[in-house]
Amino acid sequence: MTAALENLLEEGRRAVVRPLAEASTLPPAFYTSPEVFEREQEAIFRRNWVSVGHAAEIPKAGDRFRIDVAGEPLMIVRGKDGEVRALSAVCRHRWMLLGEGAESSGTISCPYHKWTYALDGSLMAAPLMEQAEGFDRAECALPSFACEVWNGFIFVNLSGDAAPLTGQLQPLAEEFTPWKMDEMEIVGRIEFDQAYNWKVLVDNFMEAYHHFAIHPETFEPNYPAAISFHDPAEGPYAVLRMPHKGNELSHPLFKPLDDIPERARRGFSVFNIYPSMLIAVLSDSVIWYRMEIAGVDRFKLTVYLLAHPASTDVPDAETLKHFLREATVAVHMEDLIACEGVQKGLHSGVAQAGRLSHLEGAIHAHQRWLIAELQRP
């Protein structure tokens, strides 16, 4: 770590690691510096559990999808034994990427020289290698990475030495139980290419302070900024509660499951499972923002719309799914104005850490965690 980065981390620590009423945001360089971004890749995204997909994407043996985490090309595959695995997507021969364009197959075949792997990563065939002395197929299996499926969501850990995810998220698992997220289906998926730092989106997602300014018609009338609050959490996640105005019942599109608690029917909650899993939990559905972070100011955003089959067993379900998709796009386009504006402002010569409102406690909690991870040896 360079002296300049150490000084910046210390500046960030002084701004953030204090009570919320006295705290400021991370300094702008945390959102714009390539050196900070590289440190994040190594210290955060390669060491912690990162959400990469949902089990509903790969329901059958042979189903797979590609994703990169901290620059590491991965293929998420469901094996013949039903297990979900995170395999390297790099051929062991001459590094060709695997799994591009293939959605399901009983094997994994390299498009370059047709080396073929089983769904557990073991090498099955390597054509025309008989003259390679000492060649051992057993030594050419695709490396695998730690993988857990939690509440239907697939997580990967590149370091292999992170504590089990399930234990870290036990309080959330208890809260989420009535939704049966592991049984949910994907009822919509929307992709965006984003040209700003990933933390700008996290900050925006985890506060309702902006509702009256950015969402005056979509959110503020029913979920006013002033009554939102940060719910303190002890695990690696932050929670923001958004009660319905007057504590009235919300008006869901679909049919909430029977055991959904009363509080969830009178508002909704959003969660950031660190470092970057953003989910909104409504009484009848879940909206998940997955980020594939490519650079200090670039990432691909995929918004997943999830609902339980029993919830969508209603008249005109397809029309309602379409409405949910359109409403989600509309809200994100409103947020995009703010996120892009912030990214431009971060590059100002006079930009500095800004004081936090009491409504931004979830941002404060996340940034305290970030500083601790970035400074950890």
Same domain, 155 and 221: no
Structural domain harbouring 90: 50-161
Same domain, 44 and 56: no
User: Count of CB atoms within 10 A of residue 116's CB?
Assistant: 15
Residue 55 gets which letter from DSSP? G
> What band does 377 get if pLDDT is binned at 50, 70 and 90?
confident
Tell me, what CATH number does 322's domain have?
A: 3.90.380.10
Same domain, 355 and 264: yes
Same domain, 298 and 185: yes
Distance CA 21, CA 359 (A): 10
Q: What is the pLDDT of residues 60-107, one digit of tens each?
A: 999 999 999 999 999 999 999 999 999 999 999 999 999 887 678 899
Tell me, what CATH number does 99's domain have?
A: 2.102.10.10
Residue 83 gets which letter from DSSP? -
pLDDT of residue 229: 98
Same domain, 212 and 358: yes
Percent above pLDDT 90 for the chain: 92
pLDDT of residue 20: 97
Distance CA 308, CA 262 (A): 18
Where would I find the H helices in 266-316?
none
- pTM equals 0.95
Same domain, 186 and 111: no
Of the residues 161, 186, 201, the one at which a domain ends: 161
Contact 258, 353 (CB under 8 A): no
Q: Which of 228, 225, 239 is nearest to 364 (CA)?
A: 239
Please state the domain count of the chain: 2
Same domain, 272 and 145: no
Distance CA 149, CA 154 (A): 4
Same domain, 343 and 272: yes
> What band does 128 get if pLDDT is binned at 50, 70 and 90?
confident
Distance CA 63, CA 55 (A): 10
Q: Which of 27, 24, 44, 31 is nearest to 360 (CA)?
A: 24
Same domain, 44 and 54: no
Mean pLDDT over 253-274 rounds to 97
Of the residues 106, 130, 161, the one at which a domain ends: 161
Same domain, 88 and 216: no
Same domain, 299 and 227: yes
Distance CA 230, CA 19 (A): 14
If one compares 228 and 133, the residue with the highest pLDDT of the two is: 228
The DSSP element (H or E) to which 340 belongs, if any, is helix 317-346
Evaluated on CA atoms 301, 365, 39, 145, the torsion sign reads negative
Distance CA 298, CA 278 (A): 17
Same domain, 94 and 177: no
Which burial class, exposed, middle or buried, applies to 172 when counting CB atoms under 10 A from its CB (0-12, 13-18, 19+)? buried
Mean pLDDT over 173-184 rounds to 97
Q: Which of 177, 183, 151, 186 is nearest to 306 (CA)?
A: 186
Of the residues 108, 141, 161, the one at which a domain ends: 161
Q: What is the pLDDT of residues 103-116, one digit of tens each?
A: 788 999 999 899 99
Q: What is the mean pLDDT of the chain?
A: 96
